[in-house]
Chains A and B, each alone.
Chain A
Amino acid sequence: MAVKKYILLYSGMLYKNMRESTSYKLDFAVGVFAHLIIQISSLFCTIIVYNNVDTLGGFDFGECLILLGCYLLPMGIEEFFLHNVWSISKHVHSGSLDGYLTKPANTLFLLVVDGTNIHGFILTICGIIYLIFGFINTNIYVGCWKVIWLVICVISGAFIIFSITVFMETLSFWFTEVTNATVMIDSLRQLVRYPITIFHPFLQKFLIFVVPYAYTSFFSATLLFDLDKYMCYTYATPFVAMVMVMGAKKFFAFGLKNYSSPCGS
């Protein structure tokens, strides 16, 4: 019953988001074009870097392309489907959170799905392209089982990114403006576009256990490479995601008690 309601609601919101983002035709076209240029130039950079080194942390060019694909996919899905999580602090600051609080659906859900970023769509496409190029450059066997786990890992990864952002943005209930802190933590995610084996063990532990961004790219890639050493982390990914989402939800509800809607609104 509840699930059905949320699915219906989500489809409605998605339709609304698409309508909104296409209501300014020029801006939409420029946005798509700009994102394409960004991705193409970053692809060239990557090719140049990997042309100058043979292996990075024990992974060759083809494997690194796959890693990049694994990095882009959850990021793209998060940006496309759950992008509005980034505006929690904006809504807290301006008081537009009031509107979500007086609707009969989960506040966090309503807020998060109320907006989309076309960028996410382009990132997802690029991620798939990276994966295909990676598979061409390596000779890895990909069976049904791996595809299923890849999908699970990608979705879990998107939810991990989402939860960490919720944690950071929820701090705005106490400090009002926290976007810079969120950006800071999120920039840690830049690290996991490279194999985490190149980092100091301390940083590796940090990315696995404290701010678990390692689950959003590296452990889905190692699944494809048949690296048994990391298999337990791969299988842990959906559970990490579930725990993170529940924690984020609790933390958000806790922060809400401290919400002081600005006056004059």
Chain B
Amino acid sequence: MKNLQKDFYVNESKEMGVKGILENLIKKNRKKVKAVKNLSFEIAEGEIVGFLGPNGAGKSTTIKMMTGILTPTRGEVKVCGVIPYQKRQQNAKNIGVVFGHRTQLWWDLPVKDSFLLLKKIYEIDDLTYKKNLSYFMELLDMESFIERPIRQLSLGQRMRCDLAAAFLHNPSIVYLDEPTIGLDITSKKKIREFICEVNKERKSTIVLTTHDMSDIEQLATRVIVIANGDMIYDGTIEQLRRQYQNERVLTFSLKEDINKYLDLREWKHKVTVNYTNDKLVIRMPVNTPIKQMIDWVTSQYVVKDIKIDETSIEDIIEEVYKQCGNQYISM
């Protein structure tokens, strides 16, 4: 995938009320929006790649170009050697897709029948179909609702069916656009386990977008952060953490109120200290060892308790988004 770009035309309406209605009918108020600007990346076989980015960043648009739904304005996409928007059918055989917002299955049809129809569409042979179906039924616990129509399933059940449907034909790459949106913890967990298991077992490549950082932490071997259609980070989650996580926070609860200041000359100006009654809060860079600090503090005070906080992945992502937000404003 190289220099991928996509422009959209959007309709904007400035007037309200009757004026707005008239304006809708008469004026042509089209405006060009660059949803994806110059993305380039490559994904290796078997990877689980997490797409991150604030709402409207261009994640879904990128996925839609990779699946062949949208034709890029400029640039090229290639998936398993096929240009998706030119050879849609050939591409479709290799891929599976789940859009969290909308089911791909038939609304009024029992789940079982939907699967059978997909078997016909994807030309899955009987043996593979049987094997996959029983395997997924067990992994995703679908036994109890397989005979019901999608319309009568809860969101969690529906998402599990969609997931199974996407993997039914042993696709080599699966796109999951917010597969955990609106789900409770247990459903999320089940879905994560499933993705992990199938990735290991089948070596399927998985590209997923999500706003749930624990999805990313537990699944993704690589993250790509997109904001305003630009890529701002591409690498492992550990690297991301290292890059943006700059400090650790040590909180000491002391037996008595503090009566003397700490001598921190050894750390020069790298650490900051905050004293409040019986609490001592020290912020220090990640790369400085904390053992030494703990030893030093415990030798100076009578310490009741110690708490060590790392910046959570949520905080890091928020920081990343903030930074690109500032860039956007200054543009």
Contact = CB atoms under 8 A, between A and B. Distances in A.
Nearest to B61: A263
A259 B9 CA distance: 11
Contact of A23 (B56, B101, B108, B121): B108
A19 interface: yes
A150 interface: no
A102 B101 contact: no
B319 to A, nearest CB: 26
A110 B95 CA distance: 18
A258 B69 CA distance: 10
B135 interface: no
Given A96-B102, A99-B104, A260 B117 contact: no
Contact of A106 (B69, B89, B108): B89
A98 B64 contact: yes
A74 B266 CA distance: 92
Q: Which interface residue of B8, B101, B121 has the most chain A CB atoms within 10 A?
A: B121
Interface string B64-85: 1001111100000000000001
Contact of B90 (A12, A102, A104, A259): A104
B23 to A, nearest CB: 17
A110 B69 CA distance: 15
A16 interface: yes
Given A8-B120, A98-B99, A107-B88, A19 B109 contact: yes
B46 interface: no
Interface residues of B, number: 34
Contacts of B41: none
Interface residues of A, number: 31
B147 interface: no
Contacts of B293: none
Contacts of B88: 101-102, 107
A147 interface: no
A105 B121 contact: yes
Contact of A102 (B61, B68, B123): B68
B267 interface: no
Contacts of B89: 104-106
B329 to A, nearest CB: 22
B101 A260 contact: no
A264 B101 contact: yes
A2 B144 CA distance: 36
Interface in A247-265: 256-261, 263-265
A13 interface: yes
Contacts of B97: 102
A261 B65 CA distance: 10
A259 B69 contact: yes
A103 B92 contact: yes
B67 A101 contact: yes
B116 interface: yes
Contact of A12 (B64, B93, B104, B117): B117
A105 B122 CA distance: 8
A42 B70 CA distance: 46
Interface in A78-119: 95-99, 101-107, 110
A176 to B, nearest CB: 9
B16 to A, nearest CB: 22
A259 B117 CA distance: 26
B149 interface: yes
B106 interface: yes
B47 interface: no
Contacts of A19: 108-109, 113
B67 A102 contact: yes
A88 to B, nearest CB: 15
A104 B122 contact: yes
B210 interface: no
A12 B69 contact: no
B204 interface: no
Contacts of B9: 260
Given A263-B60, A264-B101, A265-B101, A16 B113 contact: yes
Nearest to B104: A99
Contacts of A110: 121
Contacts of A97: 69
A95 B90 contact: no
B100 to A, nearest CB: 10
A54 interface: no
Interface of B: 8-9, 56, 60-61, 64, 67-71, 85, 88-90, 92-93, 95, 97, 99, 101-102, 104, 106, 108-109, 113, 116-117, 120-123, 149
Interface of A: 5, 8-9, 12-13, 16, 19-20, 23, 95-99, 101-107, 110, 256-261, 263-265
14 contacts: A8-B120, A13-B117, A98-B99, A98-B102, A101-B67, A101-B69, A102-B69, A102-B104, A103-B92, A104-B93, A256-B71, A259-B69, A260-B8, A264-B60
Given A97-B69, A106-B89, A260-B8, 8 more contacts: A16-B117, A104-B89, A104-B123, A107-B88, A110-B121, A257-B71, A259-B70, A263-B60
Nearest first, the 3 A-B pairs at minimum CB distance are A104-B92, A12-B120, A104-B93
